[in-house]
Amino acid sequence: MSTQNLTDGFHALIDAFKKNDINNIYAVAGIPITDVLRLAVEREMKVIAFRHESNAGHAAAIAGYLTQKPGICMTVSAPGMLNGMVALANATVNCFPMILISGSSDRAISELKRGDYEELDQVNAAVPYAKLSIRVNRPEDIGLAIARAYRVAVSGRPGGVYVDIPGEVLATTVDKDVAEKSMFRIVDPAPAQLPGKAALDRAIDLLASAERPMILLGKGAAYAQAENEVKDFVESNKVPFLPMSMAKGILPDSHEQSAAAARSHTIGNADVVLLCGARLNWLLNQGQGPLWSDDTKFVHIDIEPIEMDSNRLIHAPLVGDIKSTLAALTEGLKAKGGMKPSEEWLNSIKERKERNFERMAKRLEADPSPMNFSSALRAVRDGFNANPGTILVNEGANTLDFARSIIDMEEPRKRLDTGTWGIMGIGMGYAIGAAVETGEAVLAVEGDSAFGFSGMEIETIVRYNLPVVTVIFNNSGIYRGDAPGTDPSPTGLLPARYDKMIEAFGGVGYHAEDSASLQKAVDEALKARKPALINAVIDPTAGTESGNITHLNPQSALSKS
């Protein structure tokens, strides 16, 4: 047969991406996907080649969160695929749409367990962590597989999908017309989903009756790009709002109706809470006392039906997409004259906010040497605020907890952090994914231990000349540093000069031992829009074990006796 009218799996995969406007691939090259990546570059796709598959996967996951299109991570077989699985699982847990595509070994050999190169049952390995795990066995099925993976990743509760492509499928030829017929552009993969009228009326009645209401915004509302609907709901009903970490900025933290600075009071005393793209999981004490009151009634908007009653009775469940459902709630409430939070309730929040603002201001006045978390973060905050539009990536323990309350966000989807799992290692992957997908400058505020999980990607950042500035909060340890002259403890780290690391790759390194030089370095580096790394020296004694979640450490009863 002449090859004129033939194509193959390599080309069919690129065609399938292009058919559905997928233009970026985050990957680590190797057998059997290297030539797919080369072909993708030839066909003018953007391929970002990483040093470790976990980081490529995190970049793909955050690309999905930021764009509502599934991010694509490609890896080699077996160990490469397993490295990518951390990110696939984290994407599914965080409800970020991504597709992990891994090459795999020869089916004829591996199905008989005859010991092929990188032999592994990858499809089954992915099942527990993905919404869907499928294998392609013929090049003419690649179009269907990618279309199906796309829809599953973004429809309903977004998450991770695994697609397995054996090397021989990539190499197999197929008639061009047959392959072309197998390609299609999917229609409306994440359709609007409205709750029924009875559910809406029930929720509207409950919200309209509330004297001490609050809306709790989760990263689902940020992912849904529902900032306009949130603004209309919050402002037309004068209701206080509380943003979870990655929901910060859906409405500006400076908004007068933000209750963030009075979190415990607002949660503990609200009579009706509207959960909007947020789960009552460990981050919210599973909705239990003493933080929450047993008397609180819940309205819950979520696209996932079985999320309702996960931890508390939901008095008015609203199963639907946030944008459509919030708009319908606002319209219905306007028709009833809107919500009527009591002046007493609003004043009680205002008073606590003012008191806590004063406390925070006092904490931020101090300027010790060496820097502590608060003084360093005040400097970073001021450098960050001088560069509007910058995306903030944040991980660590103390570095995460202090930054969440000190660095305010004014725009949605600009704070990307450890999320639902509290996972370390998302830093450089998220920073790269955010810079590639948005073109914005990125400031990654990293604990020195957290940075270590993905730090080799500094070379990737320099290689692609990305506008990523990494600030390492160097307290020489996980949570804190070791006492001078002692042997290394399980949580100790060297007081290393990480700034020399980026210089080794050709990037710009800064070493900051005081807050003034730290603020100057952050501002200068962000304005330069070049890869930079700032080594910020933090007092090794300043940290708290596990930051705000010390209580999650198991305590032996013996140790108490």
Ligand X SMILES: Cc1ncc(Cc2csc(CCOP(=O)(O)OP(=O)(O)O)c2C)c(N)n1
Ligand Y SMILES: Nc1ncnc2c1ncn2[C@@H]1O[C@H](COP(=O)(O)OP(=O)(O)O)[C@@H](O)[C@H]1O
Return residues touching ligand X (CB under 6 A): 396-399, 422-425, 447-450, 473, 475, 477-479, 543, 547
Query: Under rule CB under 6 A, which residues in 198-257 are in contact with ligand Y?
Result: 218-220, 223-224, 244, 246-247
Angle at 44 between CA 467 and CA 531, to 5 degrees: 10
Which residue, 491, 454, 488, is CA-closest to 470? Answer: 454
Q: What does 218 interact with, of ligand Y, Mg ion, ligand X, none (CB < 5 to 8 A by kind)?
A: ligand Y
Q: Are 533 and 498 in contact (CB under 8 A)?
A: yes
Of the candidate residues 321, 401, 457, 499, the single one contacting ligand Y (CB under 6 A): 321
List the beta bridge partners of residue 6.
175
Site string for Mg ion, 396-435 (x = CB under 5 A): ----------------------------------------
Q: Which two tokens stand for residue 321?
A: 């997409």
Closer by beta carbon to Mg ion, 218 or else 396 = 396
Task: Give the Cβ contact number of residue 534 at 10 Å.
Answer: 28
Eight-state DSSP code of residue 26:
E
Torsional class of 201: left (φ above 0), alpha (ψ -120 to 50), beta (otherwise): alpha
Of the listed pieces 38-46, 223-231, 447-455, 526-534, which binds Mg ion according to CB under 5 A? Answer: 447-455
Q: Nearest-CA neighbor of 216 among 290, 153, 174, 266?
A: 266
For residue 107, give both structure tokens: 């089916």
Looking at the Cβ atoms of 27 and 424, the one nearer to ligand X is 424
* Nearest residue to 402 via CA among 364, 353, 366: 364
Q: Which does 423 bind (CB under 5 to 8 A by kind): Mg ion, ligand Y, ligand X, none?
A: ligand X
Q: Would you call 2 helix, strand, or coil by DSSP? A: coil
Alpha-helix residue ranges (DSSP H) falling in 9-104: 9-19, 34-42, 53-67, 79-94
CA angle 458, 129, 426 (to 5 degrees): 20
283 touches, from Mg ion, ligand Y, ligand X, none (C-beta below 5 to 8 Å by class):
ligand Y
The verdict on 66 binding ligand Y (CB under 6 A) reads no
Interacting span for Mg ion (CB under 5 A) from 55-63, 234-242, 316-324, 474-482: 474-482
In whole angstroms, the minimum distance from the beta carbon of 428 to ligand X comes to 13
Among the listed residues 19, 58, 279, 404, the single contact to ligand Y using CB under 6 A: 279
Helix (H, G, I), strand (E, B), or coil: what is residue 506? Answer: coil
Of residues 447, 467, 492, 547, which one binds Mg ion by CB under 5 A?
A: 447
Tokens 């559910």 belong to residue:
199
422 binds, among Mg ion, ligand Y, ligand X, none (CB under 5 to 8 A by kind): ligand X
In contact, 470 and 428? CB cutoff 8 Å: yes
- Strand 391-395 to 297-302 pairing: unpaired
- Residues near 535 by beta carbon (within 8 Å), at least 6 away in sequence: 472, 474, 496, 497, 498, 499, 509, 510, 511, 512
Q: How many whole angstroms separate alpha carbon 280 and alpha carbon 275? A: 8
Taking CB under 6 A as the rule, does residue 94 contact ligand Y?
yes
Q: Which does 302 bind (CB under 5 to 8 A by kind): ligand Y, ligand X, Mg ion, none?
A: ligand Y
Does 159 sit near ligand Y (CB under 6 A)?
no
User: Which amino acid type is present at position 8?
Assistant: D
**Residue number, 347 or 541, with CB nearest to ligand X:** 541
User: Least CB distance from residue 468 to ligand X, whole Å?
Assistant: 18
Report if residue 97 touches ligand Y, rule: CB under 6 A.
no
- Write down the least CB distance from residue 171 to Mg ion, Å: 47
Using CB under 6 A as the binding rule, whether residue 18 contacts ligand Y is answered as no
Shortest reach from residue 435's CB to ligand Y, in Å = 23
Q: Rule CB under 6 A: is residue 95 a binding residue for ligand Y?
A: yes
Mask 281-300, x = binds ligand Y (CB under 6 A)?
A: x-x-----------------
Figure out which of the listed residues 179, 303, 400, 443 binds ligand Y, where binding follows CB under 6 A.
Answer: 303
Q: Is the peptide bond before 32 cis (omega within 30 degrees of 0)?
A: yes
Which region, judged by CB under 6 A, interacts with ligand Y, from 36-44, 278-286, 428-436, 475-483? 278-286
Shortest CA distance to 58 belongs to which of 103, 91, 94? 91
Q: 164 or 401: whose CB is closer to ligand X?
A: 401
Cis peptide before 467 (omega within 30 of 0): no
Taking CB under 6 A as the rule, which mask of x and - marks residues 406-445 in contact with ligand Y? --------------x-------------------------
- Nearest-approach distance from CB 491 to ligand X, in angstroms: 8
Contact of 39 with 14, CB cutoff 8 Å: yes
Size of the site for ligand Y (CB under 6 A): 24
Spatial contact of 91 and 130, defined as CB atoms under 8 Å apart: no
Phi, psi (deg, nearest 5) at residue 275: -80, 125
* Secondary structure class of 390 (helix, strand, coil): coil
Q: Are 146 and 20 in contact (CB under 8 A)?
A: yes
Q: Which of 448, 459, 499, 514 binds Mg ion (CB under 5 A)?
A: 448
CB of 493 to Mg ion, least distance (A): 7
Applying CB under 5 A, does 475 fall inside the site for Mg ion? yes
Closest alpha carbon to 446 in 427, 431, 465, 463 = 427
Minimum CB separation of residue 156 from ligand Y in Å reads: 8
Nearest approach, Cβ of residue 398 and ligand X (Å): 4
Gyration radius from the chain CA atoms: 25
CB under 5 to 8 A by kind: which of ligand X, Mg ion, ligand Y, none does 397 bind?
A: ligand X
Query: What is the contact surface with Mg ion in residues (CB under 5 A)?
Result: 447-449, 475
Query: What is the contact surface with ligand Y in residues (CB under 6 A)?
Result: 94-95, 157-158, 218-220, 223-224, 244, 246-247, 277-279, 281, 283, 302-304, 307, 321-322, 420
